[in-house]
Structure 1
Amino acid sequence: MKSVLITGANKGIGLETAKELSKEGLFIYLGSRDLEKGNDIVEELSKNGYENIKAIEIDVTQPNTILSAKKIIEEEQGHLDILINNAGISGIVTQSALETSAENYSEVFDVNVYGVVRVTQSFIELLKKSTEPRIVNVSTSVGSLTLQSDPHWPAYDYGKYVIYASSKAAMNMYTVHLAYELRATAFKINAVCPGYTKTDFTNYKGGEVKDAAKRIIKYALLDHNGPTGKFFSEESNPETGEIAW
């Protein structure tokens, strides 16, 4: 049975992804900053027929919780097949390139960039023990420099989130370098935008959470012929899914 760790999985897209992967027969480590809340969610899921889901405490800004989570998974599984770096925050509203402070940037980057680095580096040895290791870094199309700078892009005049977009662009670059360093291995590593989705992140505006989860799962379950080092947003490009950096 394959195992997967999903950070920030106690709600929203992360939770839906956990539910859908459970249906696919994987063992799910449902990452939550608050273990009690995570356990409550798992108990509710169990009552609704979901199996092989375990809450695990992990705060991507706290290295001690990351290492504790790694120890648990190592003892129970011996390896990790899939890592989904889903935990993320948007930062203050509104965000201005002229006025928003560096301290506000630091808070968001600590989760969206440094958190991804901390978790990935901590779990890389367990992932290397898998025959088909996969990493999905949950991104967003607003992290695309190409799209954000295109006056013809439908969202060009939408409210700008300079901190959030900058953090995801930085995470995308980390994805590129990570995939490059592991290009000669069985790893498949991609940045995936789940699309504008109805969660508390968007004040429950946008598409269905099930559709967002399916987009992530598609790249979490790639076979050996699948792409690596790419950026996908099926909402932005329904034909191939791939978008420019």
Structure 2
Amino acid sequence: MSERTIALVTGANKGIGYEIALGLGALGWGVGVGARDDRRRKEAVEQLRAAGVDAFGVPLDVTDDASVSAAAQLIEDRTGRLDVLVNNAAIADEMPQEPTQVDPATFRAVMETNVLGVIRVTNAMMPLLRRSPSPRIVNMSSSVGSLTRQSGTAAELTTGPVAVAYAPSKTLLNAVTLQYARELSGTNILINMGCPGYVATDLNGFRGVRTPAQGAAIAITLATLPDGGPTGTFVDDAGVVPW
């Protein structure tokens, strides 16, 4: 059984997820690199280890019950507990996503990964998290999940293109996270939502203006909150994001 702080980051083979793993590893933590692509996962683990991170691969498809159960068992066998879970894996799927034109299959696929995947992984890892002295859950959200910003008429209040699958998936993720926070109130488990900002990743065709490392910073902040810290918050580097 490991006495080191152990984290699992989903979708950690590239982009923001990789940088989160790198940042947590720099703290001396053991980091599980969750990813469904075998080659990319192995390459990410090798790169992280070369950078001095105690990284290990976790085969993980967040849309598959058996895969998630196997991932929980792998961590059980390796470390006996989990201290931090970062639910980072997400997809945008095909664009554009105008409501009058979207294929329902696109909507279903995005929700399966971005919302149900988070529920599936969180619940599978919960027994391991409960063994930690200071468990933390970070759900990577987005400013596009803010109904305030989506409904604003001023340019500074609007955010992103019309995306009837992706944007509501983040709104729903926020709502789901709040329900977890309510259930876990009074326990030592803190669960929060982090907004990375408009990061250049393959999800947006690398049009973002922030680097993956900049986007990862909020997740690292939330993963390292002290005991008694906030829970159920929706924040970015600048502070609270409006709902």
Q: TM-score range by the shorter chain?
A: over 0.9
Q: Which residue of 2 aligns with 1:54?
A: 56
More moved, 95-104 vs 186-195: 95-104
Q: Which residue of 2 aligns with 1:243?
A: 241
- Structure 1, residues 139-182: CA drift from partner, whole Å, max 9, x if none? 00110111111112526274211210111111111100001000
Counterparts in 2 of 1:175 and 1:102: CA distance versus 1, 3 Å: same
Equivalent of 2:172 in 148, 156, 170: 170
RMSD, matched Cα: 1.3
Q: Does the aligned pair in 2 maintain the 1:19–1:50 contact within 8 Å? A: no
Q: Which amino acid aligns with 1:108?
A: V
More moved, 214-223 vs 156-165: 156-165
In 1, distance between residues paired with 2:100 and 2:164? 10
Q: Which amino acid aligns with 2:69?
A: L
Q: CA deviation at 1:80?
A: 0.3
Q: Does the aligned pair in 2 maintain the 1:197–1:207 contact within 8 Å? A: yes
Equivalent runs, 1:180-219 vs 2, <5 Å: 180-205=182-207, 206-219=209-222
In 1, distance between residues paired with 2:46 and 2:21? 14
Any unmatched runs of 5+ in structure 2? none
Q: CA deviation at 1:131?
A: 0.8
Q: Which residue of 1 aligns with 2:120?
A: 118
Q: CA deviation at 1:102?
A: 2.0
Name the SS for the 1:223 alignment partner. Answer: coil
TM-score with structure 1 setting the length? 0.94
TM-score with structure 2 setting the length? 0.94
Equivalent of 1:17 in 17, 20, 24: 20
More moved, 36-45 vs 65-74: 36-45
Q: Which amino acid aligns with 2:139?
A: N
In 2, distance between residues paired with 1:20 and 1:32? 17
Equivalent of 1:79 in 77, 81, 99: 81
Percent identity over paired residues? 37
Equivalent runs, 1:22-101 vs 2, <5 Å: 22-47=25-50, 49-101=51-103
Q: Which residue of 1 aligns with 2:144?
A: 142
Q: CA deviation at 1:114?
A: 0.6
Any unmatched runs of 5+ in structure 1? none
Q: Which residue of 2 aligns with 1:6?
A: 9
Counterparts in 2 of 1:121 and 1:153: CA distance versus 1, 3 Å: farther
Q: Stretches of 4+ moved more than 3 A in 1?
A: none
In 1, distance between residues paired with 2:46 and 2:161? 39
In 1, distance between residues paired with 2:205 and 2:74? 35
